[in-house]
Structure 1
Amino acid sequence: MGLDYYGILQLPRNSTSLDIKKAFRNLALEFNPERLSHESSQQVFNLICEAYDVLGNPLHRAVFDQYGEEGLKGGVPGPDDYIKPYHYHGDAMKTYKEFFGTASPYADLMDYLLHPQRLYDLPEGKGMCKKQPPIRHQLFLTLHEIFFGGVKKMKIQRLEYIGPEKTKTEIREKILSIPIKPGIKAGTEIIYPEEGDQNPAHIPADIIFITEDKPHEHFIREKNNLVTEADITLQDALLGTTITVSTIDHRTIRIPITDIVCPGYEKIVPGEGMPILESPQERGDLVIRFNVEYPPYLPKASRNLILKAFYLAKIGGGKNQQEMINKMVLADKIMRVDPDEQLPPFD
């Protein structure tokens, strides 16, 4: 049976984020190795810090709640992509410093939050405030959202001031409206200045959303182009066919394939790709790549006909092949006419 991080922090599973922080604060101070001399304190301290590293992260906590320590550290399938295995960095004091802002075993930040000094009593309140580092979130967008654009709503939780004195904070939810421009590129950063936790000692952090394409069932975006694959038979590859494609904007288009589909061949359909960010009225191209399915078996008669066709194409030098094939078909028809029914030759 794996580790029970809730048990390590002495918490029920329905604990809030603030409950987890309070529990970690109390236990981390109690078992800080600099305060305790016995050897087991370091091991307990390491477990406490690892438990907070998991439960203090919403994604890690969600995976742990559903799959336990084994699923968390082994990796599990997610709704959009495979969730990579979690590995604790192993530096318990690093987790301690990130939480308390110091390595001191006598840090008492929770008392500070419960009984904060007034802003003007702090050194930072005298023009020395330091801005918190930015908070980055991935923003997954479907190709449909990228194609049409619009507004995406994201809910965040942050500490906000309460009361006119702005010396106390509490956790509140806020909805951010994120504008999505048609054709927005993957990796675009959308910045919301100072939307992080409010704190008398710091300037709130910027929240940055970084866009990323969500996998689509049929299409892949390559710059402004949409790429899809089509499965065709060898007959279609040699003789031509028509491909039906359902587009992102809910249309059905039929694309005739008249060229011979050879390895590396791509069919380009102009103007059927994604909108171009700098000029949304223009669009990239649709690129169709082919998977040719070969027949598992050919009768000897079919092989002989194919061999004859390639022979005629070869002796034609690769030119006027259509004329050569027409002559072959005409000669074959003449040979099939009964000699008694053939017309006499002209004198």
Structure 2
Amino acid sequence: MHRGDSSGSSSSAESVKSEQETVPVKPSGKDFYKVLGVSPESNEDEIKKAYRKLALKFHPDKNSDAEAEDKFKEIAEAYEILTDPKKRAIYDQFGEEGLKNGVTLTSHGNLFRSNVPTDSFSHGYEHFDIFFGQDDDELFKPFRRFPHSRHQPSAVHELPVTLEEVLQGCTKHVKITRKRLNPDGCSLRSEDKVLNVVVKKGWRAGTKITFPREGDETQNKGPADVTFVLKDEEHPQYRREGANIVYTAKITLKEALCGCTINVPTLDSRMMPLPCSDIIKPGATRRLRGEGLPLPKSPSQKGDLVVEFQVLFPDRIPPQSREIIKHSLAKC
């Protein structure tokens, strides 16, 4: 009897111990704080600044290294987790595996596992709202300003740039007006914000530059992203073809047949002489190598300045000149 009581007591203790050990002591999987180079105590602004710095460094449009795209995806994944209150709270306790396996918390902070695993950090978290009870508002009070994990659609704006700005690179200071929640969490206010949009050398029309969570805010969703799409401004002298720029040179029929030297303006305000000794046909082209725009992925290299010839024909020819031309061109 005495031994049986001892055995029963031991079994009960082991059962309690087993239940207590269902909550992992250390998070497993990727260290998202390390990925962004921040500490677990970092606030949202610090995480945002770290993300922007790394995103500029590893964006595939700006970094041609083979590993840049994978690194960019990794920091984007870390940013998404650490700026989402629910995901961050779960990650801090249960790590990456907890997020992947559908782990959430009960109202008392205990481990709970849903039967709907997630396959990606970019979607599949809607089911978390189902498992949070009313008492969870107190548990997540410091994090629940934005109750839903999805953001609003990005606000898209065109950003006109001149060819000179694309040649040199520039920073555009763009003022936006956005709506933000007041501290009461219900009413909205309008505020102005200046965004410094960095345009790198050689970037093409259509390139997108995104500022995460800098747009309008609502009660049900976090702030929208703001995206700028580059658009080439029309240039008075050139048209753009990728990294090449095309300049139209107008020459007379005499110059086209007898040869000439034309001065071609470059995008950085120089004049380059271009001798033409051969007959120039309408639409013919010549190239000034390396006088175009920087290549987006290799800014030290440039495209060409393509000179396209437009031959200006006379409106009339005097009778005596007509006979001379006929005689001169008889064997052509």
The letter of the residue matching 1:132 is Q
The Cα shift of 1:188 comes to 0.5
**1:263 and 2:282 matched:** yes
Q: 1:281 and 1:193 mapped to 2: Cα distance?
A: 30
Q: Can you give the 5+ residue segments of structure 2 that lack an aligned partner in the other structure?
A: 1-137
Please name the residue that 2:191 is paired with: 172
For 2:279, what is the secondary structure of its paired residue?
A: coil
Please name the residue that 1:304 is paired with: 323
2:174 to 139, 154, 158: 154
The Cα shift of 1:127 comes to 4.8
For 2:171, what is the secondary structure of its paired residue?
A: strand
Please name the residue that 1:128 is paired with: 148
Please name the residue that 2:249 is paired with: 230
The Cα shift of 1:305 comes to 2.5
Please name the residue that 2:162 is paired with: 142
For 1:145, what is the secondary structure of its paired residue?
A: helix
Say which one has the larger Rg: 1
Q: 1:152 and 1:137 mapped to 2: Cα distance?
A: 13
Please name the residue that 2:222 is paired with: 203
Q: 1:157 and 1:189 mapped to 2: Cα distance?
A: 20
Q: 1:250 and 1:288 mapped to 2: Cα distance?
A: 16
The Cα shift of 1:251 comes to 1.1
State the Cα deviation string for residues 75-99 of structure 1 (Å, max 9, x = none): xxxxxxxxxxxxxxxxxxxxxxxxx
Contact 1:125 1:201 in 2 (8 A): no
Q: 1:291 and 1:203 mapped to 2: Cα distance?
A: 56
**1:217 and 2:217 matched:** no
The letter of the residue matching 1:151 is T
Please name the residue that 1:188 is paired with: 207
The letter of the residue matching 1:191 is T
Q: 2:285 and 2:179 mapped to 1: Cα distance?
A: 53
Contact 2:159 2:228 in 1 (8 A): yes
The Cα shift of 1:240 comes to 1.2
The Cα shift of 1:166 comes to 5.2
Within 5 A, what are the aligned runs for 1:1-347?
127-163=147-183, 168-311=187-330, 313-314=331-332
RMSD across aligned positions (CA): 2.6
Q: 2:267 and 2:223 mapped to 1: Cα distance?
A: 40
The letter of the residue matching 1:157 is T
Q: 1:296 and 1:248 mapped to 2: Cα distance?
A: 33
Which structure would you say has the larger RCO, counting Cα contacts within 8 Å and 6 or more residues apart? 2
The Cα shift of 1:151 comes to 0.7
Q: TM-score, normalised by structure 1?
A: 0.51
> Per the alignment, do residues 239 and 126 of structure 1 end up closer, same or farther by CA in structure 2, a change over 3 Å counting?
closer
Structure 1 vs Structure 2: percent identity of aligned residues? Answer: 36
Q: 2:160 and 2:272 mapped to 1: Cα distance?
A: 28
For 1:146, what is the secondary structure of its paired residue?
A: helix
The letter of the residue matching 1:139 is L
Q: 1:128 and 1:158 mapped to 2: Cα distance?
A: 20
Q: TM-score, normalised by structure 2?
A: 0.54
State the Cα deviation string for residues 208-235 of structure 1 (Å, max 9, x = none): 1010100001110011111111211100
Number of positions where the alignment pairs a residue of Structure 1 with one of Structure 2: 194
Contact 1:183 1:277 in 2 (8 A): yes
State the Cα deviation string for residues 40-96 of structure 1 (Å, max 9, x = none): xxxxxxxxxxxxxxxxxxxxxxxxxxxxxxxxxxxxxxxxxxxxxxxxxxxxxxxxx
The Cα shift of 1:258 comes to 1.8
